[in-house]
Amino acid sequence: MSRLKAAVVQVCSGLIVSENLAEIERLLMAYQQEHVDIIVLPECFAMLGGSQAEVALKADDIRGWMSSMATKMGSWLVGGAVPIHDSRDGRNHASCLVYNPEGDEIASYNKMHLFDVEVSDSKGRYRESDDFIPGARPELVDIGQAKVGLSICYDLRFPELYRCLVEQGATILTVPSAFTKVTGEAHWEVLLRARAIENQCYVLAANQAGTHPDGRQTYGHSMIISPWGDILAEAPAEGAAVIVAELDLGELARVRQQMPCLNHRRL
């Protein structure tokens, strides 16, 4: 198969995990008959605006729901971040989990770059390192027709991560995110298109969208982008949505053949 159908989910997650998961399930079930190959959920899809420690206590329930949804949809399901306990360190990772169409958890990528920044918005200070420890390595998933490189939100600003994933064979890059409204307006689209163009990959970017209980405002505009940098599908600035696009892997191969940038690197 040289074509895949991808779906990217956008939501505005609140404090109640069960309600957030039910909303995503409602959105996805409308596409159950469309034979979607890969689905990407936003960062913090299970809860945003409250204690990550509380979400960590429900990690097993979230994993069970992800497994069930992958089976119901018959799709690969990528979603993160979920707080996953590290028994060696005693703290949590912000983990992107991947399930196959049979409902098996195939991979877990731990977010490498933590969002410790000052933003000129109503929340102001973000410090993910208060809740999480950084991951140590990139993660790639072979879904049969393609290899998928995993990342989460703030990772988007570190191109070396994506180049590492491409060197390992990635042709699709996933970016579950909760990009803020301020930083999203400035950089979201340009960074996503740059990662697609420089790595000649499809990019599936699922963002949060709206105002959350802690006052955080997220940018929305979830996107599916081609290896040439074209926006194939885009969600609105606010509110829940599912965007769908066809990924033509033959076209990706042609882009890499006709513009063989990845073979021309000197460093």
Catalytic residues: 43, 111, 153
Q: Which of 159, 157, 138, 137 is nearest to 149 (CA)?
A: 138
- For β-strands 202-207 and 76-85, DSSP reports them as unpaired
Helices and strands: H and E segment counts in the chain:
7, 16
- Please give the Cα distance from 11 to 161 (Å, whole number): 26
**Residue written as tokens 């405002």?**
217
Q: Which of 217, 44, 12 is nearest to 122 (CA)?
A: 217
Q: Which of 144, 160, 53 is nearest to 106 (CA)?
A: 144
Q: Which two tokens stand for residue 18?
A: 């069960």
